[in-house]
């Protein structure tokens, strides 16, 4: 959705909100469109449903004349964007998987939880160190990182990431003023599924 807004394409797409759950029976509608059972999925005439944000972003970037602003066609700038995109998407995956593990009846496997925790902390340290470079462009990489930080605010609201990562926090506060981000506040479609409070406290580390 951020890519659509950045490229001025948002009014050409119909948004259908739905709820995906990684636990229990997958949403059958999503499963019929994406066998991985995940959102987002993009429907385009003449193509099978497109899934995985990186694939959808690449498709959208190719549609718009100014798409290369978000993902340069070649060179070090392209791989900087792809690397940040992988880092942001991977951080989000770790946060989602960690939350699933914590929600299991047993409270989760300690070794697995410690592994997710270590990876989340490591990714955040790298992002704090690279925050000055994140300022130098704005593309699919920065967007994926902002989505991961949004996941922290959404599901780990008390984790204190801003205090522990002040350079990253200042960058995030500055880019949050972009119209594409102001247009897209995070909405909880299923309040009842908020789950237990997740123990993630950057202040402790
Ligand atoms: N790498 C995928 C991750 C998508 C993803 O994990 N989406 C979550 C949103 S809550 C989901 O649909 N989870 C349901 C599931 O894992 O079954 C992407 O970037 O599109």
The residue to mutate among 20, 30, 42, 141, having the most atoms of ligand 1 within 8 angstroms of its beta carbon, is 20
| Nearest atom in ligand 1 to 40's CA | 20
The residue to mutate among 39, 56, 143, 144, having the most atoms of ligand 1 within 8 angstroms of its beta carbon, is 39
What's the confidence (pLDDT) of residue 78?
97
- For residue 105, report the distance from its CA to the centre of ligand 1, in Å: 22
Q: Which residue has the higher pLDDT, 197 or 118?
A: 118
- The answer, yes or no, to whether residue 199 has pLDDT greater than 80, is no
- The answer, yes or no, to whether residue 48 has pLDDT greater than 80, is yes
- For residue 38, report the distance from its CA to the centre of ligand 1, in Å: 4
- For residue 174, report the distance from its CA to the centre of ligand 1, in Å: 27
Give me the DSSP letters along 161-193. HHHH-HHHHHHHHHHTTSHHHHT-----S-GGG
| Nearest atom in ligand 1 to 39's CA | 12
- The answer, yes or no, to whether residue 97 has pLDDT greater than 70, is yes
**Contact criterion met (CB below 8 Å) for 34 and 51:** yes
Ligand 1 proximity of 31 Cβ (cutoff 6 Å)? no
What's the confidence (pLDDT) of residue 191?
64
Tokens, residue 124? 């955040």
**How far from chain centre, in Å, is Cα 143?**
8
- The answer, yes or no, to whether residue 192 has pLDDT greater than 80, is no
Instruction: Indicate the SS3 state at residue 142.
Output: helix
Ligand 1 proximity of 108 Cβ (cutoff 6 Å)? no
Domains of the chain (ranges plus CATH)?
2-68 (3.40.30.10), 74-204 (1.20.1050.10)
State the Cα–Cα distance between residues 147 and 104, nearest whole angstrom: 25
Tokens, residue 167? 């350079």
Tokens, residue 55? 């694939």
**Contact criterion met (CB below 8 Å) for 151 and 96:** yes
Q: Is 169 exposed, middle or buried (0-12, 13-18, 19+ CB in 10 A)?
A: middle
Tell me which H or E stretch contains 50.
strand 50-51
What's the confidence (pLDDT) of residue 104?
87
Phi, psi of 51 (to 5 degrees): -135, 160
In 3-state terms the chain splits into helix, strand, coil percentages (rounded to 5) of 60, 0, 40
pLDDT band with cut points at 50, 70 and 90 for residue 178: very high
Instruction: Indicate the SS3 state at residue 113.
Output: helix
pLDDT digit string, tens, across residues 119-136: 999 999 999 999 999 999
Ligand 1 proximity of 20 Cβ (cutoff 6 Å)? yes
């Amino acid at each position: 959705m951020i890519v659509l807004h950045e490229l001025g394409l948002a009014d050409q797409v119909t948004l259908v909100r739905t709820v995906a759950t990684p636990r229990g029976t997958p949403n059958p509608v999503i499963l019929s469109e994406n066998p991985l059972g995940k959102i987002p999925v993009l429907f385009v005439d003449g193509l099978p449903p497109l899934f995985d944000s990186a694939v959808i972003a690449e498709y959208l970037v190719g549609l718009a004349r100014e798409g290369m602003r978000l993902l340069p066609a070649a060179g070090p700038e392209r791989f900087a964007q792809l690397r940040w995109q992988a880092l942001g998407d991977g951080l989000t995956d770790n946060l989602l998987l960690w939350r699933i593990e914590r929600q299991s009846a047993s409270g989760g496997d300690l070794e697995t939880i410690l592994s997710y925790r270590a990876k989340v902390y490591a990714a955040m340290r790298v992002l704090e160190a690279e925050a000055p470079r994140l300022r130098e462009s704005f593309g699919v990489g920065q967007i994926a990182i902002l989505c991961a930080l949004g996941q922290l605010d959404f599901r780990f609201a008390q984790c204190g990431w801003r205090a522990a990562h002040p350079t990253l926090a200042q960058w995030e506060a500055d880019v949050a003023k972009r119209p594409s981000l102001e247009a897209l506040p995070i909405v909880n479609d299923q309040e009842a599924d908020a789950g237990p409070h997740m123990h993630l406290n950057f202040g402790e580390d």
